[in-house]
Every structure is written in structure tokens, then in C-alpha cells.
Structure 1
């Protein structure tokens, strides 16, 4: 257990409503590095542990533990117990894993194993696994509790940790007071007027027509694949979207995310062979930091992302051009404004129990949220600093977003070389992946030269 190397504030820290809903389990990432010629693994391990202990001083909430309070709500107890650091060895070589040709089982062993049968107050919020390969290369996997940090906050911490490892100082102080999102405060009296929108993000996603539950779809065997789109291919898809559906709202062209996520959604509907009247939704994660008035303070550390859903009929998605799918996604994103955000916070504050909004279950459970067939979830890491993590021995040769075993679970990443390319990591049912691959590269200006099966 790695603890802060200086005394830190101790006490109970209220969590915001956004911290306590959705995924409150750990989110893994894995970075692969070649063997540094001048450093041995013992030196690397000591550097990581020493710099981690220093990073946990400004980011002291990550050294604490979660505690249940009443009504399915959580508090963060800052107690400096620390982050867990695991060292492991593998008989494989870096070359065998560097192209991402990994099974989900392989990735499982390279990532920290979190035992969710334990009481939540016994689980570290940060777990690090350093795995040495027989060639001398190594993998660095991090699992960070989503109840404490969203993607932007987690990467803020990881990148500051790497700066400490390089002997540098803190670049941006984390803003730790979650009261800017009214953490720990009671509902307003009188309450805010209800925003003019449906709360579809809190409802169950559509089921396949003719089915009363999603249990049959949950049991289907899944597989993971990695797809790469070059900058030219991404630009081609954006042109296709913008030219095929009139003028996008706000007078600006569709973003990379709106375009590629729309393309993924359409291809999934086709590969799954939906009926034309099949309802389908796409889960979208929207960062609220700059959408509030005033914006959240720079360096806000916590959860500030909201899940919204884009909806359509599968028949409309596949029969209409790409720009239609992108327009449905944009419509979902654009509703997230200051009024919407505050109304959603108030809605959650007025819930007697938050349990029904939480995913408390580990990967592969048959409980918790399910955005599989006929739905999709496409998370964007395109604007996050996920690449170029240098702890003093050079940047990673490959980064992977950990295990993805739920049907419909996917993430968009920036290409490793910073050349404008996009990488899609996606999990689908085995029966649908071959068709998806063919469809994904079928559009004009798209080819299938960059495909890796996992």
C-alpha cells in the first residue's frame, strides 16, 4: 500500500450526485513500455511508488475509501490509507501484446483484479499493477474508482503523477471542493422548475422487439476488436455526414465524435439485422465543465460528465445517410446546458434512494446497466490526454483502455502518433462482429487495412 508521503487532510468529503450514479466501479487503462536500457525493473518500481506517494498529497482523496451512508448514497473518507501497488511477472514478451492482439482473458491478467465481494470501504480507490515481461518490457495498468474521478480527472492525476516521476513539480492543482456541484447539500426549497426534457438517460434502454428482458442478449458470447481510421478516413466520413444531411445545427460541421459514433451506431444496427421498427439508443457521455454558468473551476476533480442518450429507429438510421445519425447525436449533446445540468442534479437530490441509478457490479455480471443489442454506448476519449505518458523512461509504445466485455461497449481514442487518426475499441456479440467489420470499412473513402481482432 502506497500512502501520501506527507500528512494530508483527513475527514469525510461529500460526493456530488454525479459521483454516485452510473459506474462506481473501477475503470482500467493499460500502458506498455519497452525496456529502458539504463534502468532495471527494481528502479522503475521504486520510482513509480515514490512518485505515487508524492502525487497522493495534492490528490489525497484518492488515498481514502468510500463509505455507504443512508439511501444508497456514498461519502468519501479521506484517511490516507493509500493506493494499492501490485507487481507481477509474465512469461510473454512485449511483442506478443504490443499489437493489441490480446484476448479479454489476457487483458484481465494484465489489469488489477478488484474483488467487489468485499465491503466497499475495504477497496482501494487506486490500484496499480506493474507487469514485467520476459523481454524486459513492462505494462503499467491503473484502475481508478469512477465514483471519485471521471476520465478527465483520472488523467489529470495520472499525468501529474508522471511529472513527479520525472522530477518535475505539480502543473495544475486539483480543485477538490465538490460543493460547486452542491455536494452534500439538501434539495432546493422551493425546487427548481422542471427542465423541458424527458429523463430518458435514467430509464431502461429499449429491448429487442419481442423480448421482455435483456437476459438472453446478456448471455450471448462477445468478442472485442480494434479498428483504426486514418485522418483521411475520418475527414472522408465527416464530409459524408455534413454533405448528406443539410446544414448541421449551430452552423458548424459535425465533430469527429458525432461522425464516427454515428457511423458505429449505423453499422451496429445493420450488423445486428434489426427490424426497421426497432427502437435503439446510443449512450453519450458529455462533459459539463464548460457548459455550466459559471464554468467549473479549472482542475475540478471529480465527476462532471453526464450520460445522455440519442434515440432513433434502426430503420431510420440504416435507410437515411450518415448525417442523420450524427444529427441525432448532436441533438442529445446540445440539450446539456446550465439549466439542464442543474435540473438533473436537483432531480437526483430529490430521489429517496440512488441505488437504482448505480452500477455496483463487476464486469461480466448479469446485473447493472446494459447497453447491448439493440443499443450502443460510445465513449469519447478523443480530447483527453491519454497518450504520451512518460514517467522518465520514454513514452508508451501502446495504450489500451482495459477490458471491454459488454455487448455494445465501445470507446474512441486518439491515434498514438497524434496524426489525427482515431482508434475504436468495441465489444459486440461474436455473431455480429464479422458483419460489423465489413460494414465499418464499407463507406466511401474507408478501407479495411487497419483492423486487429482481439
Structure 2
């Protein structure tokens, strides 16, 4: 049954630049050779939704957040600069101090009117984060685009466009935590940010010492890829409760029962998506696990205290569609666990070297799944004084322009159940097959889809 459309109007002020509140160094800082690879040259839209907080009734969230942002940028001053591209496509930050784009907005709607739709996909997101002309580009543009929208109920929605070359999920959490601390009255961030991008620069001379199957370009440009050869896709989220996770865990052998929730959901996604796309049995398929490698630098982990750049690898598990779909789920789990263990300190140095030797190439996209775990970032805990979020995380499935990527995001639904949101995008018929494969895998623990009501908006 389709719910009635929710109509509301968003009124926006003109975009403004918010610079650091105090003078900051004027310098050029090189991004690392992990940061500036092709696969990270995009903006990630994220959203934070806050209820009305009675103790903050006399405070305007927009004024509080704008002022705290200008103070936070004193410490994170590279964000107030602009990305430049140098020789051999090397990216750097020109620390100009110009500032980030900030937009004040107001909507004539309450959070209650959204019902249980405060989760991906957000059909109204284009109204909650203004698409400033050219904002899809990352070079010579503001590094952050922010819109804060007041709601009739006293709550507000904070939406950001985050340049991925500047940092990963852990780096985003660090920045957001610092911003929230400043909003609550702190004099400085509890964790001081450090640049340290030289840690992940290529060696001289560069030397690839590990097998990076995630960057194998196995397809010619004219090869037909079903999941990429379409302009019509649907976005849908699946909500995994602890009962769903337990049901999946029962599908793997006892010796794998201690595997992580990430391993289980990634294996589930890989198998169901491969079947839904009806990939030929002998074709190779990949699952790329986005691994936070900070803990892999065991010799000196203190190097990454305060580090907000990218320290991630796209480690790939590879098999054929026949082997993946013909075996039990434990087979996929084993491959994923093995791929994750490949990421070591040497692997990261080899990866940086690979990016220079292969000219910052894109990861393999053909017949590939990709999952990023945002559970440890736990953005729902970011508290500007209005408490924890009703939702904090990504807006939809897909990683950049790549539709096969997705995220695992912690979420509490309208019933108060703790669980994990898993947003994906597929062509319509493939999505139907995916949902059926997932239901078949879970048996009587069907995983609910979360599409929410439709919206009709106007913008002034």
C-alpha cells in the first residue's frame, strides 16, 4: 500500500562562505598517494537528523553550528582551502582560508510527519543539501558543502557533501566530533588533528610488493556489464536486526560463528547480488572489503592518533559466479576474511606505490561488490547539544558513481529496534530478484525493506 505524498517547502538563504575564525597557515599540503587515487575523487553526501531538545529551546541551531564551524576550521584549516591538481595528477590542498560553503534553510515540516522514513534512501535529499553549480567536482572548489535546515518542531537536519580525497569514515567521525565539541563549548578538540600524509606516500623508487587484485583492469572498454549498462536504478534499504544476523550466522559452519557481522552481511550481499544479476557461471566476481588499516601499522600506531586522511584499502576476494553461488555461505565468508587479513603495513606501502606506478588508477568495477563498514564511525553519537541523532550516515547506496558499492550503517528504527541499515541500488528487476534471494536466505526471518513514503517539495 502506497502512503500519501508528504508535501513541504524548503526556504533557503544564499550560500555563504564560512572561514576559520582566526588566521591559519597559508601553505600547500600534499595529499597522500592513498588519498588521491581515482576511486576516491568524489563527494560523499551524509546527513544528520536531530530532534527538538527542550534545554536548547532558546538557541538557534544554525547560529550555534555556524560559529562552532568557524572555530573548528582553525584546527582543520585545510578544509577551508581548495584542492589543486599538479603534475602526474598529484592532488594537494592550497590552504587559502577561503572557507566552506554554508547554507541556512528552513522547512515547514516536523520530524513526526516523516514517519519511519528517516533513513536511506532519502527521496527529498536534494532539498536538504543544495546542489551548488559545480559542486560535483572536487578540484578548485570548496572542500565542504553544508546545509542546516530548521524544522517546525524545533529539530533540524544537517547535510554535508564530503570530499573523499580528504579523509575516510574514521576521519569524518573525528572532524564531526570536534565540530560538535566546539558547539557544546569546548575550547579545542579533544583529539588534535594531524596531517602526516607523508606516512602513506609512495616510496622512492616505488615498488609493488603485494598482489592488488582490486586494481586489475580485466575488461575492455566495450565489454557489456549488465549492472553498469543502465540509467534506470532503484534505491532501497534493508534493515538487519540482531535476529536477522543470528539467522545468517546459522548458515555458516561452527568454526565461522565467531566471524564479524561485517563478514556475514558482506557475504550475504555478494551472493544475493550475484544471483540477482544472473552473472554467467564462469565469470569472475569480486567482493572488495574497505579495510581501515590504521591498526595494521603495529610498529608505531601512535602515528595515526588524530590522523583524518584516508587509511583504507579495497582488498578483494575473487572467485567465479559458479563457485560463489554453488557453495554454502561459509565459502564467501572465508574468502572475505582472507582478503581482509591481506591488509598489512607492507600492503599499504605497496598500495601507495601501485597508485604512482599505475597513475592513480580506478579499482576494478566489473562484476564487483564493495562494502564499507560505518558501524565503528557511529555517526549517530555526534552531539551538538541536541542529543544523539535520529539518523547519522550516508544518504543512499552506491560509492561515488559506482553502483555496486554500499555501506553498513547503525540505525534504530521507529519501533526502537537497534539494527543495521544496508542501502543498495540496482535496476528494478534485479532489485526484485535480490530481495527474493535475501528472503530465501533468511527463511522465516525476512529482512524488511525500508523505502518510506514519497515526498513532494518546493524550494524558495
TM-score bin, normalised by smaller chain = 0.7 to 0.9
State the alpha-carbon separation in 2 of the partners of residues 431 and 18 from structure 1: 36
Give the alignment of 1:218-229 within 5 angstroms. Answer: 218-229=229-240
> 1:225-249 CA deviation, whole Å, 9 max, x = no partner?
1111111321332242243xxx45x
CA distance in 2, matches of 1:161, 1:39: 17
Does 1:170 find its partner at 2:189?
yes
CA shift in 2, pair 1:337/1:420, >3 Å: farther
Q: 1:340 aligns with which of 347, 368, 386?
A: 347
Equivalent residue, structure 2, for 1:20: 36
How far apart are 1:162 and its partner, in Å? 0.6
Q: Look up the SS of the partner of 2:18 in the other structure.
A: coil
In the alignment, is residue 325 of structure 1 matched against residue 332 of structure 2? Answer: yes
- CA distance, structure 2, for counterparts of residue 312 and residue 375 of structure 1: 11
CA distance in 2 between partners of 1:330 and 1:388 (Å): 28
Over 3 Å counting, the alpha-carbon distance change for 1:114 and 1:281 in structure 2 is: farther
Q: Describe how 1:67-146 pairs up with structure 2 within 5 A.
A: 67-97=84-114, 99-100=116-117, 105-116=123-134, 120-146=138-164
Q: Which runs of 5+ in 2 are unaligned?
A: 1-16, 453-460
Say whether the 8 Å CA contact 1:107–1:403 is kept in structure 2: no
CA distance in 2, matches of 1:279, 1:423: 28
2:200 matched to which residue of 1? 181
Higher RCO structure (Cα 8 Å, ≥6 apart): 2
CA contact (8 A) 1:52 1:161 kept: yes
Q: Give the match's secondary structure for 1:108.
A: helix
User: Contact 2:146 / 2:158 at 8 angstroms: preserved in 1?
Assistant: yes
Alpha-carbon displacement from aligned partner over 1:284-316 (angstroms, at most 9, x marks no partner): 211111112433421212111111222121221
Q: CA deviation at 1:56?
A: 0.9
Q: Check conservation: 2:233, 2:428, Cα contact below 8 A.
A: yes
After TM superposition, the score normalised by the length of structure 1 is 0.85
Shift of 1:391: 0.7
- Is 1:402 matched with 2:395? yes
Query: Equivalences for 1:261-340 in 2 at 5 Å?
Result: 261-292=266-297, 293-295=299-301, 296-340=303-347
- Distance (Å, rounded) in 2 between the aligned partners of 1:377 and 1:216: 13
Shift of 1:180: 2.1
Q: Does 1:389 align with 2:400?
A: no
Per the alignment, residue 200 of structure 1 pairs with 213
CA distance in 1, matches of 2:369, 2:450: 21
2:173 to 139, 142, 155: 155
Distance 1:349 1:205 in 2: 20
Say whether the 8 Å CA contact 1:205–1:281 is kept in structure 2. no
Q: Which residue, 421, 430, 439 being the options, matches 1:432?
A: 430
SS at match of 2:35: helix
User: CA–CA distance in 2 between the matches of 1:87 and 1:56?
Assistant: 18
Figure out how many residues of one structure are paired with residues of the other and give that number: 426
For residue 83 of structure 2, the aligned residue among 45, 48, 66 is 66
Distance 1:207 1:322, change over 3 A: farther
Q: Say if 2:30 and 2:92, in contact at 8 Å, map to a contact too.
A: yes
Cα distance per residue 1:175-231 (max 9 Å; x no partner): 21212223xxx7424x54x4242x3222336699xx724488332411111111111
1:98/1:258 CA distance change after superposition, 3 Å: same
Cα distance change, pair 242–124 in 1 and its aligned pair in 2 (3 A): farther
Provide the rounded CA distance (Å) in 1 between the counterparts of 2:407 and 2:218.
19
Equivalent residues of 1:407, 1:427 under 8 A apart: yes
Residue 232 of structure 1 corresponds to which residue in structure 2?
A: 243
Please report the RMSD computed on the Cα atoms of aligned residues, expressed in angstroms.
2.9
Query: What's the TM-score once normalised by structure 2's chain length?
Result: 0.84
CA contact (8 A) 1:4 1:53 kept: yes
Tell me if structure 2 keeps the 8 A contact 1:234–1:422.
no
